[in-house]
Amino acid sequence: MGTLKKTLVAVAVLGAGAGVGAALFALVTPGELQKQAMLKEMPEQNPQHRDEVARTQELVLATLQEAAATQENVAWRKNWMVGGSGRSA
């Protein structure tokens, strides 16, 4: 009988904890209007930021393509915008 009581108390405590956690989660979750406002403020929505990210990706891709085509160690370059100015391995 003692084991059954301990089990029921443990289940009740865990259930209460889960209930409190679910209630707190429901309270802090932003509403639909707040979600829309947050999405508008994200940097990815800014056209200038998108252009910068696209340019950075282009530079990284060009560097990777050049590194694949040459024997030079492009990681040693001081300025990644220009080719062939660093040490080679």
pTM over the 0.75 mark: no
In a domain, 79, yes or no: no
In a domain, 85, yes or no: no
In a domain, 80, yes or no: no
Residues 13, 37, single domain; the answer is yes
Range of the domain at 56: 45-73
Residues 15, 34, single domain; the answer is yes
Please indicate whether residue 11 or residue 34 has the higher confidence score (pLDDT): 11
Query: Rounded distance, CA 11 to CA 61, Å?
Result: 55
Q: How many domains does the chain have?
A: 2
Q: Which residues contact 39 (CB under 8 A, 6 or more apart)?
A: 45
Among 8-17, 57-66, 80-89, the least confident range: 80-89
In a domain, 4, yes or no: no
Mean pLDDT on 35-41: 83
In a domain, 1, yes or no: no
In a domain, 58, yes or no: yes
